[in-house]
């Protein structure tokens, strides 16, 4: 896809300045973006960084990526994608064309013209941990040159770009917004949605007008829609708002799911009925909990910042508590099918990833469910076509190879992650009893009498 890049101001002025050889840093940087001759460094080649690196490489930029994970770097060098959502052929083509290089050390990016920081921002001890962003920023200090553009993509506490990133980068001796440029552009990629990075509207922001124009121009090369925010702080806040919205709404239906059945109501039917209202309602669905790198984490970032400002966000905290209670609710419901006793019961969990069609089991509610089954003495196994092994009850558990045999010997099969590759007819045929946390079996007539749901 070709997207016409925007020019920075009046092109005759640009040409005149260039001919004097004194074009300011911002103008030279804009020209490199316009002509796609900028060399782009990407720090962190995960779910966010790698698709961006590929999109930039496909758009004609030379990209150098850094990731601490030696295995990931080795795979990329061999033209293999470490992610399900990126084809090997996309990586191979860029490596062969010399448009993608990879290294294990961000200090060895070689002073690229543009750097995107895409490192994790997890919780450590239940608190926001931005140390990897700061480490990445420190590794860039000696590489900052007049005209360098640094864009933070990682999800962060509002004010991080202005108050933490810029001061670290300015220890280079250069001045932000004068000599080099800084922006924040949150990632909204959804690895299992099928939406490509180019299709998702991209929020962009800069610490000043020059940074804002440069960051906007950069992303116009790779995404169809660019949405400018007035400051990094607003963009940082907006990213947290989006994921908090999701977490709170999922918590609402999860809490309702915990009482609907006792009221004789099928929660999914109620949600589908409510969704026929043409305004003021957005459907969210219950499940075994909320996992992944973003939804359970980002509200904590927002709540932490609000707490510092002296205003605890109690609704967010309640939502987190409800969503965190779901694995226990699921296990209690399954135990209820065996008079409350799970010891020795053979339980097979389907799906370990935190959502369908990906290999990512980070913070997966399905793994929390499995931990609880083990704690309660169940004889547990799991199957996941994408996750070969996960840590359960302190030890690595390997996905079963022969699913049919496993289903046939199970006292109960618990559907936690509804990967599209599961053939539900087959699961139904070979199982005696199923607990369905995703409502995937609702339309199967043969489910009658065999399936319990959340």
Ligand X SMILES: NC(=O)c1ccc[n+]([C@@H]2O[C@H](COP(=O)([O-])OP(=O)(O)OC[C@H]3O[C@@H](n4cnc5c(N)ncnc54)[C@H](O)[C@@H]3O)[C@@H](O)[C@H]2O)c1
* Residues labelled catalytic: 294
**Shortest distance, position 86 Cβ to ligand X, whole Å:** 12
Applying CB under 6 A, among 189, 313, 342, 410 the residue interacting with ligand X is 189
Structure tokens at 258: 């915990």
**Shortest distance, position 273 Cβ to ligand X, whole Å:** 31
Q: How far apart are CA 360 and CA 149, in angstroms?
A: 31
Nearer to ligand X, 47 or 373 (CB): 47
Establish if 236 lies at the interface with ligand X (CB under 6 A). no
Nearer to ligand X, 150 or 348 (CB): 150
Nearer to ligand X, 120 or 299 (CB): 120
Establish if 65 lies at the interface with ligand X (CB under 6 A). no
Establish if 266 lies at the interface with ligand X (CB under 6 A). no
Establish if 364 lies at the interface with ligand X (CB under 6 A). no
Establish if 135 lies at the interface with ligand X (CB under 6 A). yes
Task: Annotate each residue in 84-113 with x if it binds ligand X (CB under 6 A) or - if it does not, as one string.
Answer: ----------------------x-------
- Which SS3 state, helix, strand or coil, does residue 170 take? helix
Please state, in angstroms and as integers, the Cα–Cα distance from residue 294 to each residue in 14, 82, 235, 273, 340, following that order: 42, 20, 16, 29, 34
Nearer to ligand X, 72 or 233 (CB): 72
In the bound complex, which residue of the shown chain has the CB atom lying closest to ligand X?
46
Structure tokens at 175: 């001045």
Q: CB–CB of 268/442 below 8 Å?
A: yes
**Shortest distance, position 66 Cβ to ligand X, whole Å:** 5
Taking every pair of Cα atoms in the chain, the longest distance, rounded to a whole number of angstroms, is 85
Establish if 43 lies at the interface with ligand X (CB under 6 A). yes
Establish if 40 lies at the interface with ligand X (CB under 6 A). no
**Ramachandran angles phi, psi of 196, nearest 5°:** -80, 155
**Shortest distance, position 16 Cβ to ligand X, whole Å:** 41
- The set of residues, in sequence order, having a beta carbon less than 8 Å from that of 233 and lying 6+ positions away, is 158, 159, 161, 162
Structure tokens at 327: 């694995």
Q: Which of residues 168-187 bind ligand X (CB under 6 A)?
A: 187
Nearer to ligand X, 386 or 424 (CB): 386
End-to-end CA distance of the chain: 44
Closest by CA position to 365, among listed 417, 422, 298, 414: 417
Establish if 293 lies at the interface with ligand X (CB under 6 A). yes
**Shortest distance, position 411 Cβ to ligand X, whole Å:** 35
Establish if 69 lies at the interface with ligand X (CB under 6 A). yes
Establish if 67 lies at the interface with ligand X (CB under 6 A). yes
Q: Which of residues 112-131 bind ligand X (CB under 6 A)?
A: 118-121
**Shortest distance, position 187 Cβ to ligand X, whole Å:** 4
Q: How far apart are CA 295 and CA 2, in angstroms?
A: 32
**Ramachandran angles phi, psi of 183, nearest 5°:** -145, 175
Give 3-state DSSP helix, strand, coil % of the chain, rounded to 5: 40, 15, 45
Establish if 41 lies at the interface with ligand X (CB under 6 A). no
Q: How far apart are CA 185 and CA 221, in angstroms?
A: 14
- The set of residues, in sequence order, having a beta carbon less than 8 Å from that of 199 and lying 6+ positions away, is 223, 224
Establish if 48 lies at the interface with ligand X (CB under 6 A). yes
Closest by CA position to 298, among listed 254, 258, 239, 352: 239
- For ligand X, the binding residues (CB under 6 A) are 43-49, 66-69, 72, 106, 118-121, 132, 135-136, 154-155, 187, 189, 191, 293-294
């Amino acid at each position: 896809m070709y997207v016409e890049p925007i020019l920075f101001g009046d092109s005759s002025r640009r040409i005149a300045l260039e001919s004097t050889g004194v074009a300011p840093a911002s103008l030279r940087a804009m020209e490199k973006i316009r002509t796609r001759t900028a060399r782009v460094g990407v720090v962190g080649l995960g779910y966010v960084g790698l698709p961006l690196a590929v999109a930039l490489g496909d758009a004609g930029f030379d990209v150098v990526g850094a990731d601490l994970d030696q295995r990931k770097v080795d795979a990329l060098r061999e033209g293999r994608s470490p992610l399900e959502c990126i084809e090997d052929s996309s990586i191979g083509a860029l490596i062969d064309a010399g448009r993608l290089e990879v290294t294990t050390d961000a200090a060895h990016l070689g002073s690229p013209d543009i750097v995107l920081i895409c490192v994790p921002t997890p919780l450590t001890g239940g608190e926001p941990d931005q140390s990897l962003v700061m480490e990445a920023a420190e590794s860039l200090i000696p590489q900052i040159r007049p005209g360098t553009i640094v864009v933070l993509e990682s999800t962060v506490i509002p004010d991080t770009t202005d108050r933490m990133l810029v001061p670290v980068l300015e220890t280079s001796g250069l001045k932000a917004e004068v000599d080099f440029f800084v922006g924040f552009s949150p990632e909204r990629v959804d690895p299992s949605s099928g939406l490509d990075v180019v299709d998702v509207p991209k929020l962009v922001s800069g610490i000043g007008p020059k940074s804002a124009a440069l960051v906007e121009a950069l992303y116009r090369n790779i995404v169809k829609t660019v949405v400018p925010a007035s400051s990094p702080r607003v963009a940082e806040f907006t990213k947290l708002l989006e994921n908090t919205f999701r977490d709170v709404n999922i918590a609402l239906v999860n809490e309702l799911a915990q009482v609907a059945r006792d009221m004789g109501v099928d929660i999914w039917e109620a949600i589908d009925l409510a969704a026929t209202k043409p305004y003021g309602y957005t459907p969210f669905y219950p499940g075994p909990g909320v996992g992944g790198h973003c939804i359970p984490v980002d509200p904590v970032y927002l709540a932490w910042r609000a707490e510092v400002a002296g205003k605890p966000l109690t609704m967010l905290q309640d939502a987190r508590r409800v969503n965190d209670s779901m694995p226990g609710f699921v296990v209690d419901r399954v135990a209820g099918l065996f008079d409350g006793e799970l010891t020795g019961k053979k339980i097979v969990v389907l799906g370990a990833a935190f959502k369908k069609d990906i290999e990512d089991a980070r913070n997966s509610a399905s793994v929390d469910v499995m931990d609880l089954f083990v704690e309660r003495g169940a004889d547990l196994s799991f199957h996941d076509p994408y996750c070969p092994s996960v840590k359960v009850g302190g030890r690595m558990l390997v996905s079963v190879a022969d699913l049919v045999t496993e289903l046939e010997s199970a006292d109960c099969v618990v559907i936690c992650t509804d990967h599209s590759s599961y053939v539900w007819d087959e699961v139904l045929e070979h199982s005696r009893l199923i607990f369905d946390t995703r409502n995937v079996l609702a339309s199967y007539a043969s489910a009658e009498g065999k399936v319990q749901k959340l």
